[in-house]
Amino acid sequence: MTKHLNISQLLMALFLVLFLNPINSQKRIFNYSDGPYVFFEGDTTQIYWMKKGKLELATYIDSIVQREDAPQINDQPVDFYFDLVQRDIPLDHQVEYNDIPKVAAISDIHGQYDIMFDLLSSNGIIDDEGNWHFGDGHLVITGDIFDRGDKVLEIVWFLIDLERQAKAAGGKVHTLIGNHEWMVLSSDVRYIHKKYRYVSALFKKQYNLLFGHDSFIGNWLRSKPIYVKINGTGFVHGGISEELFDYTNMEDLNTIYYEEVLSQDTLKNSALADFLTNTESPLWFRGYAYEGEYDERRTKKLLKKMNADRIVVGHTSMPNIFSINNNRIIFIDSSIKLGKGGEMLIVKGNKFYSCDTEGNQKRL
């Protein structure tokens, strides 16, 4: 008698063939390219990258790699990946900037390199080839370039090169730390794209160790601030809660966060470290988004403590950029992470505009 498989048995058999077959799995891994990952070991610089699933390595007997000497990572030109890669990256902890002629901000990119590029190019921050076009203006990335999407390193290396170009033009790129950067550095990998699980497996390392203290990107991330104030407007990933002022002030916030959190291999056992990583901390706070929590009176009181005119935040996903309390709190996480589009903020004097990927600008 012939034994017939039922539907569930057939589906299980199909799953085993498609997903657990070693040959098929290998083919799927080969679709991924990624990198570069740069590490320092003694007097050498080691550059790894993944090309169609294969891990490759270039070693340099120096801590500096010239752009023209760097390997090509993917099949298409990736000229922006390298200029100078150096071990010692200065801490970028300056809090306040004034008399900046133009300011733009984008938040929660989450590996969506193409949407980020379209927003920046359509609104005059970069040209069509990705070069800085914002002159002496300042661009703020309010955290969360990591996790969810599959083009995280493309964003990282793009921003590293854009920082160099902006500085040469008299402008600046501020890349702020978000909660997802901290999650990756602290080995919370719940939200990484499956591509980066393959990368971690190829390296035979936990994913967070790809951004350790011996890595260029890890040191670059750890050098970044969590808060900046430009022309009286504060920028932070989550928000500033009143509880913050029980622990520190705005002027020392970046330095304290570095000393208590970012520079540590193991989080300090202290009330300050606990606060800086809990839901009331600048990276995680969502209080402004709760209806009725922050009326105009409470907002003014908070901003007075901050010595700021307004605050711009990401972290809490919204359909579009919008503001409350007469533009005193502006939400700019426009759900770019979904991969369908998004918006960025442009500030012109005392006027604020939400701008889309087509270059359309709407005043808040």
Verdict on whether the full-model pTM lies above 0.75: yes
Cα angle for residues 316, 318, 323 (degrees, 5° grid): 90
Question: In this structure, are strands 138-141 and 103-106 parallel, antiparallel, or unpaired?
Answer: parallel
Residue 27, pLDDT above cutoff 50: no
* Of 358 and 66, the one with more pLDDT: 358
Residue 18, pLDDT above cutoff 50: no
Residues of the chain above pLDDT 90, percent: 73
- Over residues 287-294, the mean pLDDT reads 94
Q: How confident is the model at residue 48 (pLDDT cuts 50, 70, 90)?
A: confident
* Of 14 and 37, the one with more pLDDT: 37
- Over residues 235-260, the mean pLDDT reads 97
Query: Was domain 96-363 assigned CATH 1.20.140.10?
Result: no
- Over residues 332-359, the mean pLDDT reads 97
Q: How confident is the model at residue 3 (pLDDT cuts 50, 70, 90)?
A: very low
Lowest-confidence range among 2-11, 17-26, 145-154? 17-26
Q: Where are the alpha helices (DSSP H) in the chain?
A: 7-19, 22-30, 113-122, 152-168, 179-185, 194-203, 216-222, 253-257, 271-276, 296-306
How far CA 246 is from CA of 193, 278, 281, in Å, comes to 37, 14, 12
If you search the block for the tokens 């790894």, which residue do you land on? 48
Q: How confident is the model at residue 76 (pLDDT cuts 50, 70, 90)?
A: very low
Q: How far, in Å, CA of 111 to CA of 108, rounded?
A: 9
Q: How far, in Å, CA of 17 to CA of 82, rounded?
A: 41
146-205: per-residue pLDDT in tens? 999 999 999 998 999 899 899 999 999 999 999 999 999 999 999 999 999 999 999 999
Residue 301, pLDDT above cutoff 70: yes
Q: How far, in Å, CA of 13 to CA of 32, rounded?
A: 26
